[in-house]
Structure formats: structure tokens, C-alpha cells
Structure 1
Amino acid sequence: MTTFPNLAETLQGRLIVSCQAPPGDPMRETATLVRLALAACAGGASAVRVNEPEVVAAVAKSVPVPVIGLWKDGDTGMYITPTVRHAQEIAAAGAAVVAADATDRPRPDGSTFEELVTAVHAAGALVMADVSTLAEGIAAAGQGADFVSTTLSGYVPGSPVRPGPDLDLVASLSAAVRVPVVAEGRIATPEEAAGALARGAHSVVVGTAITAPTALTARFVAGLTAN
């Protein structure tokens, strides 16, 4: 695994690009996702966020920037790096940072988020806590998370559903925790990304608006059909 000293400083004020594709999408192929990550780097991304061990390993060997790795297992409940085993395998694949669900839902293996953090740190990687509320973010920071991300706001029962990014959560977390806060979720324009930094985000993750041609095409088709 390539190490990146002063990673938080490297990412401050910068863009992280999520290079993923949902099941069944034509883009969901390792070599394609590697090229997508390389394209993001060529455009100036300071890190990429990548799903599944095979893709994490391939991207980590190919790009010059840190890889934030995760493992989506399932499609309901806690499914973003849900267990200690998932987290360890993502770290072993070469992720500099392991992103994991840090909501207050029970983990499938009965572990705590703190135990996941300990395991990832022992493997030499950092942890990004994906949360949906202020309370979850505060708890995750207290349990050793190196970054807290707003990834799951609007996707977990009890968190507000918004058409755009949850910048109120970004601001609240930035005021409440000492670790870097990453804005992620429904950021669709450069202006929204800049707005997240203005509200206190340390860095910003953008995915669909950059790396999802199937979803973007469907939006245009729907727009034409509506008229």
C-alpha cells in the first residue's frame, strides 16, 4: 500500500471523485473503472473513492493519488463496508482510507464501529466514517474516525431527505468535531461543491455528476420526455 503522509492536508479544499458504477451498469468493469479514475486524476482530483477489493487494488496500482476504498455488500440496511472483515480486505487491497458506514444501525457481524477503526488502523490505513446525522458524526469522531463524511444523509431513516447536498449537516459537523469533515451526497454542480467548502467542509466528494454517464443520460432523456 502506498502511503500518503499528511493526507488530511493533501485533501484540504480539494475534490475527491467517486469512481463507481451500480450493479448491471455497463461501466461496472474493473478496467473501465481504472480508466475512469485515471481520467478523474487527469482532471485534477486529489483522491478517488472506489468500491470493492478488486477495483480498489487495480486503481491503487494505477493512480498517483490516494484511494478511498469501500465495499458495498448488499443494497439495504448497513451495506457500506459493514463488517471488520470487509474493512480489513479493503485496507489489504491498497486503500489509503477505508470508508465505512458509521450510522447507529447494528453491524452484521455484531462489531462496533470502534472495533472496525482499530482493525483498519492496525492495517496501516485511515478511516472515513459515512454518517447521516450530527450525532452519528460526533460519535464516529469519538471512536477514532480520521474523517467524517455526510455520505448517508437522506439515505437512512431519521435523516432529512433533501433534493441537494445537506450543507446544514456539513456546517454542524464542522463546528462539532475536530476531524476533517467531507461533504458527499447529491453535489451536482461546481457551485454546490464550492458552497460545501464555504460551509466548513474540509474536502468534497462528487460522483454521479462526473462519473455516471448512464444516470446523466437518463436525466436528459427524462427532461426531454417531460416537455
Structure 2
Amino acid sequence: MKKTEVFDKIRGGLIVSCQALPEEPLHSSFIMGRMAYAAMLGGAVGIRANSVEDITEMKKLVDLPIIGIIKHDCDDSPVRITPTIEQVDALVACGVDIIATDATDRIRTKGVTLDAFFKEVREKYPDQLFMADCATFEEALHAQEIGFDLVGTTLRGYTENTKGMQIPDFDLLKKLTAELHVGIIAEGGIWSPEQLRRAIDCGVLAAVVGTAITRPMDITKRYVEALK
């Protein structure tokens, strides 16, 4: 799909993140595929997914734009969301609509900077849509400057310099939509329909909800905590 077509499909809607890591009970491409299908039937306008295997399974069942990532732990860097060109290659090969990658100011594996990484990526795949997973306004602004198509607040609260900050950060969302011209994706910490509505009302292109919908273990823990 072309950029305008993808943007039109997700505009003002809910993107559901369907992910389960190897240590989680629902880790299975079969299960994630059905999770994405259920999200589509519920009215989701897009899916965010981790791994080629899960994305391949989802594409059999859903006809929605997919934001694809590959989470990979590196010994020499905290960057783990699509950290290298090899993971980008794999996501392009499976035909994902949008590829998301860590776009914080942290150094990637083998000492590679974001600028060097994305220069190589953009030159290799000029027509691919890329989303910058950021933690701060400055990182989002820089991501726009170097050519990302979308910016998400995915890593707000998860980096050393933003740890402990309350999310969703609606003030940040308003600032991003007011000062940037790329598509803004609200992601992180949205637990209720009311928060989702408020995020969309900040003027973002779309919003991602994951744990609150697709991680029953964490949802259960939240309820159990309320009984203590």
C-alpha cells in the first residue's frame, strides 16, 4: 500500500499490538494470528506485530495495515526494537506495511548511530514506510528530520532518561501534533477506552493499545492487585 492509502486506513483509529515474547504464555504465531483476527473483527484499523513468523501468520487472516518489528536483545546495546539492517531486510521481505524501529538517541549494537543506521535503511528501501519509536520530543523531531514517515511515543517511560514518567503523556502528544508534520502514533500506557479517546483527541493519526487488550496475564494481575 502507498503512504496515503495506509494513512487513510488507520486515521483516527485503534491499532492493536498483538505480541507475546518466548517467556509469555501466549507465545505462538497461531495464537497471535487469531488475536489479530479477533482485533480486526472488533474494529481495529491496524495491527502491530513482532517477528516474521507472527506477521506471516497474521497476513493469512487479516487485511489490515501491519506495523512490524523484530525484538532482538543485543549484548552491547539497550536498543532491541529492530536494531539492525538484517531485521529490516527480513521485515521488508515478508511484505509488512510499516516497519518500526527504536529511534531514541541511544547507540545501537556495534556502535552504530541512529543516523548511520537509518541512512542505510532509507537508501536501500526508499519506498518503505518507517515508524520511529521515540521517548522524547527531541528524538521525535530528529526522527522527522532524518526522514521517518511516522513517529510513535512507544518508548516514553522505558529509557533511562524517561523512566518513571507517567504515560500516556497527553501533553507530549499535543506538542508533537502541533509541531511535527509526520504522522504521530500514540503508543504506551493506554489502559482504558477513555484514555484512547483522549489520545485521539490530541490530534494523533492513530493510537496503539497492546497489553490492555492482548496480554491476559498482565490484565489479570491488574485486577488481582486491586484486591490487595
* Fold conserved between structures, TM > 0.5: yes
Deviates more, 1:95-104 or 1:58-67: 58-67
Does the 8 Å CA contact 1:14/1:45 hold for their aligned counterparts?
A: yes
**Alignment-derived partner of residue 72 in structure 2:** 73
Quote the Cα distance in structure 1 between the aligned partners of 2:226 and 2:117.
42
Quote the Cα distance in structure 1 between the aligned partners of 2:2 and 2:118.
23
Quote the Cα distance in structure 1 between the aligned partners of 2:122 and 2:223.
45
Q: 2:153 aligns with which of 145, 150, 155?
A: 150
Q: 2:139 aligns with which of 109, 113, 136?
A: 136
Does the 8 Å CA contact 2:9/2:65 hold for their aligned counterparts?
A: no
**Alignment-derived partner of residue 85 in structure 2:** 84
Does the 8 Å CA contact 1:91/1:120 hold for their aligned counterparts?
A: no
**Alignment-derived partner of residue 106 in structure 1:** 107
1:190 aligns with 2:193: yes
Quote the Cα distance in structure 2 between the aligned partners of 1:84 and 1:120.
10
**Alignment-derived partner of residue 212 in structure 1:** 215
Does the 8 Å CA contact 1:60/1:66 hold for their aligned counterparts?
A: no
Quote the Cα distance in structure 2 between the aligned partners of 1:153 and 1:175.
18
**Alignment-derived partner of residue 44 in structure 1:** 43
Task: Give the match's secondary structure for 2:125.
Answer: helix
Quote the Cα distance in structure 2 between the aligned partners of 1:113 and 1:156.
19
Count of residues in Structure 1 that have an aligned counterpart in Structure 2: 223
What's the offset of the Cα at 1:22? 2.9
1:118 aligns with 2:119: no
Provide closer, same or farther for how the CA distance between residues 38 and 154 of structure 1 changes in structure 2, counting only shifts above 3 A: same
Q: TM-score, normalised by structure 1?
A: 0.91
Does the 8 Å CA contact 1:87/1:120 hold for their aligned counterparts?
A: no
Letter in 2 for 1:212: R
Provide closer, same or farther for how the CA distance between residues 106 and 52 of structure 1 changes in structure 2, counting only shifts above 3 A: same
What's the offset of the Cα at 1:115? 2.2
Does the 8 Å CA contact 1:67/1:95 hold for their aligned counterparts?
A: yes
What are the ranges of 5 or more consecutive residues in structure 1 without an aligned counterpart?
none
**Alignment-derived partner of residue 225 in structure 2:** 222
Letter in 2 for 1:172: K
**Alignment-derived partner of residue 96 in structure 1:** 97
Quote the Cα distance in structure 2 between the aligned partners of 1:52 and 1:158.
28
Identity, % of aligned pairs?
A: 37
Quote the Cα distance in structure 2 between the aligned partners of 1:116 and 1:213.
39
What's the offset of the Cα at 1:84? 1.4
Aligned residues: CA RMSD: 1.9
Quote the Cα distance in structure 1 between the aligned partners of 2:169 and 2:151.
14
Quote the Cα distance in structure 2 between the aligned partners of 1:210 and 1:177.
29
Quote the Cα distance in structure 2 between the aligned partners of 1:91 and 1:43.
27
**Alignment-derived partner of residue 12 in structure 1:** 11
